[in-house]
């Protein structure tokens, strides 16, 4: 069985031109080895974005991981992007990574 790596990138743009880009990559064992959140939005405290990226690295996508990430997002104030769009985008990327890993494991 050949194991693959995955990188999923998704972007959402708010009315008024603000955007968020989220990229999550995995190694061949579906462990997250890359997480980048960029855009022209603001987060307060600004360290929360770094905390999310660091928390994701070295982990697999689980319900517990998603709940912890949502808690981190809920602790921040976001300007330029709605909390709902940000959370939805991040969950979408994580679920896509998880689904790709499951399909690969079945083949």
Domains of the chain, by residue range, sit at 6-106
Tens digit of pLDDT per residue, the chain (107 long)? 445 688 999 999 988 768 999 999 998 888 999 999 999 999 999 999 999 999 999 999 999 999 999 999 999 999 999 999 999 999 999 999 988 887 665 55
Q: What local confidence, expressed as pLDDT, does residue 19 receive?
A: 92
Stated as kind and residue range, the H or E segment containing 103 is: helix 83-106
Q: What local confidence, expressed as pLDDT, does residue 1 receive?
A: 45
Give the integer Cα–Cα distance in Å for 45 and 51. Answer: 10
Give the integer Cα–Cα distance in Å for 28 and 63. Answer: 20
The SS3 of residue 29 is coil
CA angle 11, 63, 58 (to 5 degrees): 70
Give the integer Cα–Cα distance in Å for 13 and 98. Answer: 24
Q: What local confidence, expressed as pLDDT, does residue 30 receive?
A: 87
Q: What local confidence, expressed as pLDDT, does residue 102 receive?
A: 74
Domain 6-106 has CATH 3.30.390.50: yes
Which has the closest alpha carbon to 19: 47, 45, 49, 39?
Answer: 39
């Amino acid at each position: 069985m050949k194991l693959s790596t995955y990188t999923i990138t998704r972007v959402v743009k708010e009315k008024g031109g603000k955007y968020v880009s989220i990229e999550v990559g995995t190694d061949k064992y579906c462990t997250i080895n890359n997480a980048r959140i960029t855009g022209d939005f603001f987060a307060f405290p600004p360290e929360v974005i770094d905390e999310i990226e660091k928390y994701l690295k070295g982990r697999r996508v689980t319900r517990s991981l998603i709940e912890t990430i949502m808690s981190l997002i809920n602790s921040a104030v976001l300007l330029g992007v709605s909390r709902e769009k940000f959370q939805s985008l991040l969950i979408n990327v994580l679920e896509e990574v998880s689904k790709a890993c499951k399909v690969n494991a079945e083949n």
